[in-house]
Amino acid sequence: MSPRRIRSRSRGFTAIEMTVSVALAGLILGNVLMVLADTRERMAIQDVTKDVDAEARRSLDRIAVQIMGAVRQQLYTQVSAPLSADSINYTSVIGVQNGVPVVSPLQRIAMTTEPTSAVSWFQNPGGENQKHIVWTRDLRGYCQGEIPNGIDDNHNGLVDEKGLSFEVDGPMVRITLTIERPGPDGKPVVKALETRVTCRN
C-alpha cells in the first residue's frame, strides 16, 4: 500500500472522528442548556411563589390589625354566614378626650374590582370627604376552591366567598384572603390564607 493511500485513509478517519465529536458535544451542550433553562424557570416560579406568599401575609396582617382595633358594637357586614361578605364596616378608637374615647369616622375594608380586583380601605365611604387607598392588588375573584354556584365548594361554612371575605361572629371576625398572580409558565400562583381575630374595644 502506498504512503499516499495511508495518508488519505488517516485523514478520513480523523474527519469521521471530528464529526462524531462535534455531534456528541452538541448533544451535551443541548442537554446542559435544557437543564439551565429548566432551572431558571423553576427559580422564577419560586420567586413568584415567595412574592405571592409575602403579599398575602402582609395584606392579611394589615386587615387583622385594623379589625382588632375596631369598636365591637360598630363592626358589621351587609350579610351573615353562610353567605359571604366581601366588605366590612367599622370604627376604631383614635384617642381619648376628657376621659372619653374618641371614635374615628366610619371605615371600610372591601374588595374592589376597578380596574382589577384589589383590597381597598375607605374612610367616610360614599361621603363627601371619602378617602380611598388600595392596600393590595392581585386579589383572586373567588376564594381558592370556591366557584359561584351557591354551594360551599371548599367546605369552610361560607357560600361563594370572594377573594376577600369576612364573617362576623360576635366579637370575633374570620378573615379569608386569596392572592393570585400569573407565574412565568403561564400557570396561576395562588395563596389562600385565613385568620380569626377578636376586637379589643
pTM here is: 0.73
What span, in angstroms and rounded, lies between the C-alpha atoms of 67 and 138?
22
Stated as kind and residue range, the H or E segment containing 176 is strand 172-182
Q: What is the pLDDT of residues 38-53, one digit of tens each?
A: 777 777 777 888 988 9
Stated as kind and residue range, the H or E segment containing 95 is strand 93-97
Phi, psi (5° rounding) for residue 70?
-80, 155
- The full set of domain ranges for the chain reads 52-198
> Residue 12: pLDDT band by 50, 70, 90 thresholds?
low
> What cell was used for 132?
380611598
> Residue 14: pLDDT band by 50, 70, 90 thresholds?
confident
Asked if pLDDT for residue 108 goes beyond 90, the answer is yes
* Residue 185, CB-side half-sphere exposure with 13 Å CA sphere: 15
Please check whether residue 80 is in contact with residue 69, taking contact to mean a CB–CB distance below 8 angstroms: no
Predicted local distance difference test score (pLDDT) of residue 77: 82
Q: Which residue has the higher pLDDT, 164 or 159?
A: 164
The answer for residues whose C-beta is within 8 angstroms of residue 174's C-beta and 6 or more apart is 166, 167, 194, 195, 196
Asked if pLDDT for residue 6 goes beyond 80, the answer is no
Cite the DSSP H helix spans in the chain.
3-68
Indicate the residue type of 65.
V
Distance of CA 100 to the CA centre of its chain: 41
Please check whether residue 143 is in contact with residue 51, taking contact to mean a CB–CB distance below 8 angstroms: no
Residue pointed to by grid coordinates 488519505 = 8
